[in-house]
């Protein structure tokens, strides 16, 4: 290939990169990742992702919230994405307090009626009027394995997520730097006789 042909190819590749959304080119792996914002969770590294590979959504807990549904619905229905991976993790901050404690903490710190604070500054219609709903909005959880299974189910059942989407969830163990399937705790199988012998 001549130098000018290589230059033209580089120009075309760059154009495809820049104009991906306009040209309807999906991300490289047709993948949407939902993960916790925790700084100990190296999402790209543990999934082996390169720039351009995936749409990555991170929030507190890696939980299916309204904006996850909004973002996933867009990429799955219009941007060519076919697969969702959810990653929750051990020692998540969302297991260190419950919703009521968070609301009390915010009240004490900010001295405002937090239940009347707009949830989305550009969408004042979005308010939670049911008693206790604001507490629930923080979406704390008690068990990371159950939380992971629940997020996958929320996505599978949601009417804005196409039925043929491949959806899987994993727990990232901060202590071992490994991913595992929910409820597939290897330490149980090596540390207890019952698990070792295949009994529950
Ligand atoms: Zn977390």
Strand order in the sheet with 31-36: 54-59, 31-36, 83-89, 166-173, 178-180
Res. 194: pLDDT tops 80 = no
| 17 found inside a domain | no
Q: Are residues 132 and 72 in the same domain?
A: no
Average pLDDT over the chain reads: 93
Q: Are residues 165 and 76 in the same domain?
A: yes
Residues with CB under 5 A from ligand 1 (ion): 36, 38, 92
| 1 found inside a domain | no
Q: Are residues 49 and 134 in the same domain?
A: no
Q: How far apart, in whole angstroms, are the C-alpha atoms of residue 174 and residue 4?
A: 49
Domain span at residue 106? 98-139
Q: Are residues 88 and 52 in the same domain?
A: yes
DSSP letter string over 43-72? HHHHHT--TTSEEEEEETTS---HHHHHHH
Q: How confident is the model at residue 107 (pLDDT cuts 50, 70, 90)?
A: confident
CATH at 77: 3.40.1050.10
| Residue found by looking up tokens 């043929």 in the block | 164
Q: Are residues 55 and 119 in the same domain?
A: no
Q: What is the Å distance from ligand 1's center to 174 Cα? A: 10
| Count of domains observed in the chain | 2
> Tens of pLDDT along 49-73?
999 999 999 999 999 999 999 999 9
Q: Are residues 35 and 123 in the same domain?
A: no
Q: What is the pLDDT of residue 198?
A: 65
Q: What is the Å distance from ligand 1's center to 76 Cα? A: 25
Q: How far apart, in whole angstroms, are the C-alpha atoms of residue 176 and residue 182?
A: 15
**Helix locations, 125-196, DSSP H:** 133-137, 144-157, 186-191, 193-196
Q: What is the Å distance from ligand 1's center to 112 Cα? A: 26
Q: Are residues 161 and 67 in the same domain?
A: yes
Q: Are residues 43 and 81 in the same domain?
A: yes
Q: What is the Å distance from ligand 1's center to 126 Cα? A: 25
Q: What is the Å distance from ligand 1's center to 90 Cα? A: 7
| Beta strand 178-180 pairing with 31-36 | unpaired
> Tens of pLDDT along 125-149?
888 888 888 889 999 999 999 999 9
């Amino acid at each position: 290939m001549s130098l000018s042909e290589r230059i033209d190819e580089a120009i075309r590749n760059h154009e495809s990169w820049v104009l991906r959304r306009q040209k309807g080119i999906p991300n490289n792996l047709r993948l949407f990742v939902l993960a916790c914002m925790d700084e100990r969770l190296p999402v790209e590294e543990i999934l082996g992702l390169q720039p351009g590979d995936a749409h990555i959504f991170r929030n507190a807990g890696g939980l299916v919230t309204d904006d996850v549904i909004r973002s996933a619905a867009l990429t799955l229905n219009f941007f060519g994405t076919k697969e969702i991976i959810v990653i929750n993790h051990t020692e998540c901050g969302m297991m260190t307090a419950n919703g009521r404690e968070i609301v009390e903490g915010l009240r004490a710190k900010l001295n405002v009626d937090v239940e009347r604070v707009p949830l989305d500054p550009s969408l004042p219609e979005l308010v939670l009027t049911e008693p206790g709903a604001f507490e629930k909005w923080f979406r704390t959880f008690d068990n990371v394995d159950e939380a992971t299974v629940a997020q996958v189910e929320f996505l599978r059942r949601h009417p804005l997520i196409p039925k043929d989407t491949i959806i899987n969830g994993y727990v990232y163990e901060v202590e071992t730097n490994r991913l595992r399937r929910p409820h597939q705790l290897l330490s149980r199988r090596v540390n207890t006789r019952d698990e070792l012998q295949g009994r529950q």
